[in-house]
Structure 1
Amino acid sequence: MTAAGLAPHLRLLGRFRLERGATAVDVCAGGRRLLAYLGLHRRATRTVLAGALWPDATEERAHGSLRTTLWRLHRSSGPLIRSDRDTLSLEDSVIVDAQALAESARRVVDGDQVPHQLLFDGDLLPGWDEHWVVFERERLRQLRLHALDALAVQFITQGRPALALEAALESVRVEPLRESAHRLVVCAHLAEDNVTEAARHFRSFRDLLRRELGVEPSARLTSALPLAP
């Protein structure tokens, strides 16, 4: 069994990286795409993989490219992918940060007290424009936003406004026009009796909405700050 310290880590949040312990593993371009797909889906048939990773090639050439990529990946990176007839799966020993993010986010949304450091990590494979990456990037982005909002509410309820502010501001960074996150920033400031900071943030968001969308903040946000001008 693979030692915990040397378990392969597939990092898809931010720049693609495959690591064994503290050592980065060099992976060919096709191998990066194959590992990323399996890291997001865990398993897929050879036909689905060939079509997704080489969409412009004929079926025969796509399957040939998949076989070549599997051979190169095994030679350079060791056993990371398991084959079961027509299905390829990521080995159970491979730790995927995007999966850990999704699991942590779901548990936070459900109200569990779990380590939440992953909620502050980078976006999924920025710069990759494959349709399957774009879809998963948006799915994870929405899940993380809901988790950050839930985390901010938890911290406000627990009387920890500084941590609530950190979570709410991260949600604002990910999606600057998301009103629920701005409302939580205002609530976190008010929980610390920082009315001036709350009003300043409200005005800044109001101006952003007017400039970008030509709309006003909702009554729910306005009522959160009694002295909002």
Structure 2
Amino acid sequence: MRNVHLDLIGGFRLLAGGHPVVLTGTGQRLVAYLALGGPAARVVTAGTLWPAVPETRALASLRTTMWRCNRKVDGLVTAEWHGIALAPGVEVDVAGLLGGPSAPPGGPSAPACGELLPGWYDDWVVFERDRLRQRTLLAWEQAAVDLAAQGRFAASLDYALAAVRADPYRESARRAVIAVHLAQHNLAEALREYHHFRDLLVDQLGVEPSEELAALVFRGRVAVTHR
């Protein structure tokens, strides 16, 4: 399917030929469910989207919703013997992010920073939202490591700090920041970041940073001292 684009970051938005397509609430949920999870059995989809009604009614609601979606965009939801799916060729904004941890092409200020389907609290949405968040943080941390290895320290620090802002308690994000500072021989900055993180953990959670992180700081101190 050509010229159909679906945005899920920041809210549901469907475009066909550049024009907005208005779906019902259940239509939006069906399309989003298939976009995030891929092809699914009818009975599973019906049970997920209409969990509080009997299976026969849920399946009937699914058929009606599919028909209404396809009236808006012909062939948007396809039906095969094994189940239903979003039409091939529909461009989905989160597809690359959910496929694996790769750095957002626009840097840490790219749309990946936004929330997946804000205001939706279905269990499957909450699961996918957390999965996207974890994928994004992993991508940013890996980008920080890769860019530092290339000597691109400013860009590396941008990614590392973005991960820290997203989750201040995440040690792997703090480690990325500290590693960038140490790579530039900025021992004072590395120590400041470590002690700030340690104070945060002790004050809020009553725990210390890992021994591995402390060892990284120690090795960095030794390396800088003996330059």
Same fold flag (TM > 0.5): yes
Are 1:49 and 2:49 matched, yes or no?
no
For the 8 Å contact 2:47–2:58, the answer to whether it is kept is yes
Between 1:45-54 and 1:93-102, the stretch displaced more is 93-102
Query: What is the RMSD computed on CA atoms of the aligned residues?
Result: 2.4
Deviations 1:118-151 (A, max 9, x none): 8741232233222222222222322322222211
The aligned length equals 217
Match of 2:83 in 1: 87
Give the match for residue 189 of structure 2. 197
CA offset digits 1:71-93 (Å, max 9, x no partner):
22122233211111361111111
Q: Which consecutive residues of structure 1, in runs of 5 or more, have no partner in the other structure?
A: 109-113
Matched residue of 1:89: which SS? strand
* TM-aligned CA distance change 1:223 to 1:195, over 3 Å: same
Work out whether residues 50 and 58 of structure 2, in 8 Å CA contact, stay in contact via their aligned partners in 1. yes
TM-score, scaled relative to structure 2: 0.84
Q: Secondary structure at the match of 1:19?
A: strand
The TM-score, its normalising length taken from structure 1, stands at 0.83
Match of 1:146 among 130, 138, 159: 138
Distance in 1, matches of 2:137 and 2:120, equals 21
1:62 aligns with 2:58: yes
Distance 1:9 1:87, change over 3 A: same
Give the residue type in structure 1 aligned to 2:198.
R
User: For residues 144 and 155 of structure 1, what CA distance do their matches in structure 2 show?
Assistant: 16
1:77 lines up with 2:69 in the alignment: no
Residue 206 (structure 1) aligned to one of 198, 201, 213: 198
CA distance in 1, matches of 2:62, 2:116: 23
Q: What is the aligned-residue identity percentage?
A: 45
Contact 1:104 1:118 (C-alpha < 8 Å) held by counterparts: no
Gaps of 5+ in 2: 222-227
| Aligned pair partner of 1:117 in 102, 106, 110 | 106
Which aligned pairs between 1:134-173 and structure 2 lie closer than 5 A?
134-173=126-165
Instruction: State the match for 2:177 in structure 1.
Output: 185
Correspondence 1:221 to 2:208: no
Q: Secondary structure in 2 aligned to 1:149?
A: helix
